[in-house]
Amino acid sequence: MNGTADDDQVLLSRFARDGDETAFKELVRLHQQPLYQFIWRRIGHEHDALDLCQKVFIQVFTRAQQFRGDASFKTWLYQIAINHCKNHFRARDRQRIDSVAIEDLDLQANEQTMDSIAELEEQNLLHHAVTQLPDKQRTTLELHLYQGHTFVEVANIMDCPVGTAKANYHHAILTLRKKLGDRGNEFI
């Protein structure tokens, strides 16, 4: 199976109805990497993202029989992930992980190192700007831009009209360009 929505429904049905754990393992194989990337972008910490990804799949495992099929499996999966991310932030009281200042690093200053540092600073700048977006804008941006979901899929995942998903994305882009100034057009 190549991971289409119909394939997902068949696999989930085989698991929920027949207890076919091979079907569940295939769902995990198909969705684990993109789901991890989505969660990592929201959380920003590898270990926590792996932990949350596992929790999402545990919830899918334990609640597979409750899936009604009103939306696609992928929509359901990402809704669960978003809820776990929100709970994670609540539990941590929205404390951010401190980062090491670039000035504190003991590096040999060569051209390749300086290019790597510049690229890392740009990535950190963009990541920080994205984390400062309002939650709905950030979620829409991450689902559409980084995960490649259509606006229809984003709307289903976020349980909102398609127009709202498009508006959230548009406002996120405008906010990022404003925060990043002249560099905003390089990133977005």
Cβ pair 154, 79 in contact under 8 A: no
CATH for the 132-188 domain, from 3.40.1190.20, 3.40.50.300, 1.10.10.10, 1.20.120.1200 = 1.10.10.10
Measured distance CA(184)–CA(186) in Å, rounded: 5
Quick one: pLDDT at residue 96? 46
**Closest residue by Cα to residue 15 from 80, 53, 72, 61:** 61
Confidence band for 131, pLDDT divided at 50, 70 and 90: confident
Measured distance CA(94)–CA(110) in Å, rounded: 37
**Average pLDDT of the chain to the nearest whole number:** 80
Quick one: pLDDT at residue 113? 46
Cβ pair 85, 39 in contact under 8 A: yes
Quick one: pLDDT at residue 86? 86
Alpha helices by DSSP H, the chain: 5-18, 21-43, 46-63, 73-91, 111-131, 135-141, 151-158, 162-180, 184-187
CATH number of 5-91: 1.10.1740.10
Percent of the chain at pLDDT exceeding 70: 76
Confidence band for 97, pLDDT divided at 50, 70 and 90: very low
Burial zone of 167 (CB within 10 Å; 0-12 exposed, 13-18 middle, 19+ buried): middle
pLDDT, one tens digit per residue, over 18-63 is: 888 999 999 999 999 999 999 998 888 888 999 999 999 999 999 8
Cβ pair 85, 158 in contact under 8 A: no
Q: What is the pTM of this model?
A: 0.62
Res 103 pLDDT > 80: no
Quick one: pLDDT at residue 115? 53
Domain ranges of the chain: 5-91, 132-188
